[in-house]
Structure 1
Amino acid sequence: MRTGNVDVVRSSFTPTSPLIDGNIQEEELNKLNERLRIIDLLGTRTKEVLNSNHPSIANWFKNNY
Protein backbone atom coordinates (compact mmCIF):
# COMPACT_ATOMS: atom_id res chain seq x y z
CA MET A 1 0.00 0.00 0.00
CA ARG A 2 1.38 3.41 -0.89
CA THR A 3 1.50 6.16 1.70
CA GLY A 4 -0.94 8.25 -0.34
CA ASN A 5 -3.61 5.62 0.29
CA VAL A 6 -3.45 5.95 4.09
CA ASP A 7 -5.66 8.62 5.66
CA VAL A 8 -5.65 7.62 9.34
CA VAL A 9 -3.30 5.52 11.45
CA ARG A 10 -4.20 4.29 14.91
CA SER A 11 -1.55 3.25 17.37
CA SER A 12 -1.84 2.18 20.97
CA PHE A 13 0.04 3.82 23.78
CA THR A 14 0.59 1.33 26.59
CA PRO A 15 1.39 3.11 29.84
CA THR A 16 2.21 0.29 32.24
CA SER A 17 4.65 2.07 34.57
CA PRO A 18 3.84 4.89 36.99
CA LEU A 19 4.80 8.45 36.16
CA ILE A 20 7.93 9.80 37.82
CA ASP A 21 7.59 13.47 38.80
CA GLY A 22 4.72 13.68 36.29
CA ASN A 23 6.80 12.26 33.43
CA ILE A 24 6.58 9.06 31.42
CA GLN A 25 9.40 6.67 32.22
CA GLU A 26 12.17 6.46 29.63
CA GLU A 27 11.44 2.93 28.38
CA GLU A 28 7.79 3.74 27.69
CA LEU A 29 8.65 7.08 26.14
CA ASN A 30 11.09 5.30 23.80
CA LYS A 31 8.35 2.87 22.71
CA LEU A 32 5.93 5.73 22.07
CA ASN A 33 8.53 7.69 20.08
CA GLU A 34 9.32 4.60 17.98
CA ARG A 35 5.65 4.27 17.04
CA LEU A 36 5.42 7.97 16.23
CA ARG A 37 8.55 7.76 14.02
CA ILE A 38 6.94 4.94 12.03
CA ILE A 39 3.75 6.97 11.63
CA ASP A 40 5.81 9.98 10.50
CA LEU A 41 7.01 7.94 7.52
CA LEU A 42 3.51 8.32 6.08
CA GLY A 43 3.84 12.09 5.74
CA THR A 44 1.87 15.07 6.94
CA ARG A 45 -1.44 14.19 5.23
CA THR A 46 -1.96 11.15 7.47
CA LYS A 47 -3.88 11.75 10.68
CA GLU A 48 -2.77 10.02 13.87
CA VAL A 49 -5.02 8.54 16.52
CA LEU A 50 -3.38 7.43 19.75
CA ASN A 51 -5.32 5.46 22.30
CA SER A 52 -4.36 4.20 25.71
CA ASN A 53 -4.27 0.42 25.79
CA HIS A 54 -3.05 -0.28 29.32
CA PRO A 55 -3.64 -3.74 30.76
CA SER A 56 -4.31 -2.40 34.25
CA ILE A 57 -4.36 0.76 36.32
CA ALA A 58 -1.43 1.19 38.71
CA ASN A 59 -2.18 1.69 42.40
CA TRP A 60 -0.41 5.06 42.36
CA PHE A 61 -3.12 6.34 39.99
CA LYS A 62 -6.03 4.81 41.87
CA ASN A 63 -4.82 6.35 45.11
CA ASN A 64 -4.14 9.80 43.63
CA TYR A 65 -7.23 10.27 41.49
Structure 2
Amino acid sequence: MLASAHFWGGLVILALVILQILVRVVSARPNRRQPFEMAVQAMLTLFHFMLLAVPASGL
Protein backbone atom coordinates (compact mmCIF):
# COMPACT_ATOMS: atom_id res chain seq x y z
CA MET A 1 0.00 0.00 0.00
CA LEU A 2 2.73 2.46 0.98
CA ALA A 3 4.83 1.59 -2.09
CA SER A 4 1.84 2.26 -4.33
CA ALA A 5 1.28 5.65 -2.70
CA HIS A 6 4.96 6.44 -3.17
CA PHE A 7 4.77 5.50 -6.85
CA TRP A 8 1.67 7.60 -7.53
CA GLY A 9 3.04 10.51 -5.52
CA GLY A 10 6.18 10.40 -7.65
CA LEU A 11 4.13 10.42 -10.84
CA VAL A 12 2.17 13.44 -9.62
CA ILE A 13 5.41 15.30 -8.84
CA LEU A 14 6.82 14.35 -12.25
CA ALA A 15 3.69 15.63 -13.98
CA LEU A 16 3.86 18.91 -12.05
CA VAL A 17 7.53 19.38 -12.95
CA ILE A 18 6.80 18.81 -16.63
CA LEU A 19 3.89 21.26 -16.43
CA GLN A 20 6.10 23.86 -14.76
CA ILE A 21 8.78 23.46 -17.45
CA LEU A 22 6.19 23.87 -20.19
CA VAL A 23 4.78 27.01 -18.57
CA ARG A 24 8.27 28.50 -18.21
CA VAL A 25 9.08 27.79 -21.86
CA VAL A 26 5.82 29.24 -23.19
CA SER A 27 5.42 32.27 -20.93
CA ALA A 28 7.12 35.56 -21.75
CA ARG A 29 9.82 36.64 -19.33
CA PRO A 30 11.48 40.01 -18.99
CA ASN A 31 14.87 40.20 -20.67
CA ARG A 32 17.05 40.89 -17.63
CA ARG A 33 20.55 39.48 -17.72
CA GLN A 34 22.06 40.63 -14.47
CA PRO A 35 24.46 38.18 -12.82
CA PHE A 36 21.93 37.26 -10.12
CA GLU A 37 19.21 36.56 -12.69
CA MET A 38 21.59 34.37 -14.68
CA ALA A 39 22.48 32.41 -11.54
CA VAL A 40 18.79 31.92 -10.72
CA GLN A 41 18.10 30.65 -14.23
CA ALA A 42 21.05 28.26 -14.09
CA MET A 43 19.96 26.83 -10.74
CA LEU A 44 16.35 26.38 -11.90
CA THR A 45 17.55 24.59 -15.01
CA LEU A 46 19.76 22.28 -12.94
CA PHE A 47 16.92 21.66 -10.47
CA HIS A 48 14.51 20.73 -13.26
CA PHE A 49 17.12 18.47 -14.85
CA MET A 50 17.62 16.65 -11.54
CA LEU A 51 13.88 16.28 -10.99
CA LEU A 52 13.57 14.67 -14.42
CA ALA A 53 16.74 12.56 -14.15
CA VAL A 54 15.70 10.66 -11.01
CA PRO A 55 12.57 9.03 -12.47
CA ALA A 56 14.30 8.53 -15.82
CA SER A 57 17.10 6.60 -14.11
CA GLY A 58 14.63 4.39 -12.25
CA LEU A 59 15.85 5.18 -8.73
TM-score (norm 1): 0.37
User: Larger RCO: Structure 1 or Structure 2 (Cα < 8 Å, ≥ 6 residues apart)?
Assistant: 2
TM-score (norm 2): 0.40
Judging by fraction of residues, say which structure has more helix.
2
